[in-house]
């Protein structure tokens, strides 16, 4: 049986029922786990033996689902977190603490940007922000002796820009730091960043992986490829003894599993951003149908993008599969089978027309979410960023005309009909 294809991994990886055991990954809704000897419990607490003892650190449902996603990404280990925010926080904080420095591309999700630029700063972490298309020389200048990681998104939210992953990996590795990539938008169905040199991959499972707008969640997957011990002075948390576990050294004891084991046994233990087993179950259902769903989101989005591009009321459309898109060549290299269902576009019209156009949409709803079954639209200048002037918007990297559109699972013909009638109605006032 071919077990390498993404659809097969999504259904089977990470869980093999025992004879007579539940076919579907069971929800282990239990805070704690029972043991018969005091010795064994002690060994669990010393990380001498693998096993469950308290769901704030680990739960079997979560672990099966994380292993499934890790297999789909081509990693060696994974963990679920309570949100995408928690995943990006843990992935970076696991190796970059107070006194450390990290580099992030500027073109990332607003919530992540805020975490790095505002909150990390308060925690004593120095963060440099750089455009992902900056020259190699500009990237060179961003590195410092205490730089611990480079962070980027495969496909940016909301701009849908494609990252040159191999170039980012080369830059990071030439400075002896890992490349951490948020792969939320393409999902492992369309892009597996580890194959192009990324070391650690994160997800907001809230988006396509859940895919039904039902549960907030996140995940981290480690490739197991980064040679931490080669840079032991830079990563003392992984490469020197941990006093909170009797002087155990993660890289020595756990090898390729060091990164995820440290994140679980220190960060989950202390911050407790665990996913609930119930939500992990929804994540699993999402993984099982992920390939089928994202291919539909993507093919419908391409139809809508082509319709919009050919409509006289539309000024421009950004969707990497369009031949006119500035990132089309990168898309063909890194995600040749598709990107996602999100695009950005702008109208040849004033804001009043734009507002009327949105108000006339019936099937497409105005909503600040993306990547689930419902098609939705957002105009940042009129919604999320409405307090800013056009000039301030441009400074913040938001085109005042930009509208973000996330194509759901409805029939694309119905969506195109909805856009057509809204254009017509808006023209008549
Ligand atoms: C939504 C999102 C996040 C944050 O995830 P939450 O699950 O909302 O915490 C992080 N990265 C990207 C790319 C996102 O789209």
47 pLDDT band (50/70/90 cuts)?
confident
Q: Which domains does the chain have, with CATH numbers?
A: 6-278 (3.40.640.10), 292-427 (3.90.1150.10)
Tell me, what's the pLDDT at 60? 97
Cα(335) to centroid(ligand 1), Å: 20
| Pocket test residue of 88, 158, 206 for ligand 1, highest count of atoms within 8 A of CB | 206
Q: Which residues have a Cβ under 8 Å from the Cβ of 328 and sit 6 or more positions away?
A: 320, 321, 322
In the chain, pLDDT over 90 holds for what percent of residues?
Answer: 86
The more confident residue out of 51 and 290 is: 290
Does the C-beta of 202 come closer than 6 Å to ligand 1?
no
Helix (H, G, I), strand (E, B) or coil at 299: helix
Which has the closest alpha carbon to 327: 344, 352, 310?
344
Helix axes 412-427, 351-360, angle to 10 degrees: 130
Does the C-beta of 107 come closer than 6 Å to ligand 1?
no
Exposed e or buried b per residue across 40-55, where buried means at least 16 C-beta atoms within 10 angstroms of its C-beta: ebeebeebeeeebebb
Q: Mean per-residue pLDDT for 22-50? A: 92
Does the C-beta of 109 come closer than 6 Å to ligand 1?
yes
Beta-carbon neighbour count of residue 136 at 10 Å? 11
DSSP annotation string for 129-186: EE-TT--HHHHHHH--TTEEEEEEESB-TTT-PBP-HHHHHHHHHHTT--EEEE-TTT
Does the C-beta of 216 come closer than 6 Å to ligand 1?
yes
Does the C-beta of 83 come closer than 6 Å to ligand 1?
yes
pLDDT digits (tens, 9 = 90+) for 200-221: 999 999 999 999 999 999 999 9
pLDDT digits (tens, 9 = 90+) for 139-175: 999 999 999 999 999 999 888 999 999 999 999 999 9
pLDDT digits (tens, 9 = 90+) for 325-376: 999 999 999 999 999 999 999 999 888 999 999 999 999 999 888 999 999 9
Q: Which residues have a Cβ under 8 Å from the Cβ of 37 and sit 6 or more positions away?
A: none
Structure token digits, residue 256: 């390729």
pLDDT at 199 over 70: yes
Does the C-beta of 112 come closer than 6 Å to ligand 1?
yes
Residue with the smallest CA separation from ligand 1 atom 4 is 84
Tell me, what's the pLDDT at 246? 87
Q: What are the backbone angles phi and psi of residue 289, rounded to the nearest 5°?
A: -105, 10
Residues in the chain: 429
Tell me, what's the pLDDT at 49? 86
Q: Which of 45-59, 315-329, 381-395 shows the lowest per-residue confidence on average (mean pLDDT)?
A: 381-395
Structure token digits, residue 320: 């990497």
Structure token digits, residue 397: 């990297």
pLDDT at 417 over 80: yes
Q: Mean per-residue pLDDT for 370-387? A: 89
Does the C-beta of 157 come closer than 6 Å to ligand 1?
yes
Residue with the smallest CA separation from ligand 1 atom 2 is 204
Structure token digits, residue 108: 């990332």
Cα(207) to centroid(ligand 1), Å: 7
pLDDT at 2 over 60: no
Does the C-beta of 248 come closer than 6 Å to ligand 1?
no
Does the C-beta of 61 come closer than 6 Å to ligand 1?
no
Q: In the predicted model, what is the mean pLDDT of the chain?
A: 95
1 pLDDT band (50/70/90 cuts)?
very low
pLDDT digits (tens, 9 = 90+) for 245-301: 889 999 999 999 999 999 999 999 999 999 999 999 999 999 999 999 999 999 999
Q: Mean per-residue pLDDT for 91-106? A: 97
CB 69 within 8 A of CB 275: no
Cα(202) to centroid(ligand 1), Å: 10
pLDDT at 397 over 70: no
Does the C-beta of 84 come closer than 6 Å to ligand 1?
yes
In the chain, pLDDT over 70 holds for what percent of residues?
Answer: 99
CA distance 321 to 301: 10
pLDDT at 44 over 90: no
Q: Are strands 218-222 and 200-204 parallel, antiparallel or unpaired?
A: antiparallel
Cα(158) to centroid(ligand 1), Å: 11
Q: CA distances (Å), 412 to each of 43, 158, 286, 319, 367, in order? A: 56, 21, 21, 16, 19
Q: Which of 27-32's residues contact partners 24+ apart within 8 Å by CB, and which partners?
A: 27/61, 27/277, 27/278, 27/280, 27/281, 28/59, 28/60, 28/61, 28/277, 29/277, 29/278, 30/55, 30/59, 31/55, 31/56
389 pLDDT band (50/70/90 cuts)?
confident
Helix (H, G, I), strand (E, B) or coil at 236: helix
Structure token digits, residue 263: 């994140």
Exposed e or buried b per residue across 87-106, where buried means at least 16 C-beta atoms within 10 angstroms of its C-beta: bbbbbbbbbbeeebbbbbbb
CA distance 330 to 33: 48
Q: Are strands 218-222 and 179-182 parallel, antiparallel or unpaired?
A: unpaired
């Amino acid at each position: 049986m071919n077990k390498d294809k993404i659809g097969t991994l999504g259904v089977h990886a990470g869980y093999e029922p025992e004879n007579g055991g539940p076919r579907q990954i069971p929800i282990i809704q239990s805070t704690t786990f029972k043991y018969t000897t005091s010795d064994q419990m002690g060994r669990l607490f010393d990380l001498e033996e693998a096993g469950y003892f308290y769901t704030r650190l680990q739960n079997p449902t979560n672990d099966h689902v994380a292993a499934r996603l890790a297999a789909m990404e081509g990693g060696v280990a994974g963990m679920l977190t309570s949100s995408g925010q928690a995943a990006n926080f843990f992935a970076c904080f696991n190796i970059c603490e107070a006194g450390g420095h990290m580099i992030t591309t500027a073109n990332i999700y607003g919530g992540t940007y805020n975490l790095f630029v505002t909150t990390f700063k308060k925690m004593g972490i120095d963060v440099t922000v750089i455009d992902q298309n900056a020259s190699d020389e500009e990237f060179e200048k961003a590195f410092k002796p205490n730089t611990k990681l480079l962070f980027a998104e495969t496909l940016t939210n909301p701009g849908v820009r494609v990252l040159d992953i191999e170039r980012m990996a080369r830059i990071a590795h030439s400075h002896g730091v890992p490349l951490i990539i948020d792969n939320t938008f393409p999902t492992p169905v369309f892009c597996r960043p580890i194959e192009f040199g990324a070391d650690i991959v994160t997800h907001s499972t809230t988006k396509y992986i859940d895919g039904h707008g039902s549960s907030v969640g996140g995940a981290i997957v480690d490739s197991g490829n980064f040679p931490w011990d080669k840079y032991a002075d830079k990563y003392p948390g992984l490469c020197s003894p941990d006093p909170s576990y009797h002087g155990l050294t993660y890289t020595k004891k756990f090898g390729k599993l060091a990164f995820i084991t440290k994140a679980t046994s220190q960060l989950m233990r202390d911050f407790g951003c665990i996913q609930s087993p119930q939500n992990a179950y929804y994540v699993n259902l999402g993984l099982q149908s992920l390939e089928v769903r994202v291919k539909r989101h993507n093919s419908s989005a391409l139809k809508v993008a082509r319709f919009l591009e050919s409509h006289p009321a539309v000024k421009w459309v950004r969707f990497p599969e369009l031949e006119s898109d500035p990132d089309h060549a990168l898309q063909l290299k890194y995600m040749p089978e598709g990107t996602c269902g999100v695009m950005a576009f702008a109208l040849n019209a004033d804001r009043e027309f734009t507002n009327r156009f949105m108000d006339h949409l019936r099937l497409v709803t105005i909503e600040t979410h993306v990547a689930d079954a419902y098609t939705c639209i957002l105009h940042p200048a009129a919604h999320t960023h409405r307090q800013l002037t056009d000039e301030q918007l441009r400074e913040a990297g938001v085109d005042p005309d930009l509208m973000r559109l996330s194509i759901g699972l409805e029939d694309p013909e119905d969506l195109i009909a909805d856009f057509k009638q809204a254009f017509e109605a808006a023209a008549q006032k």
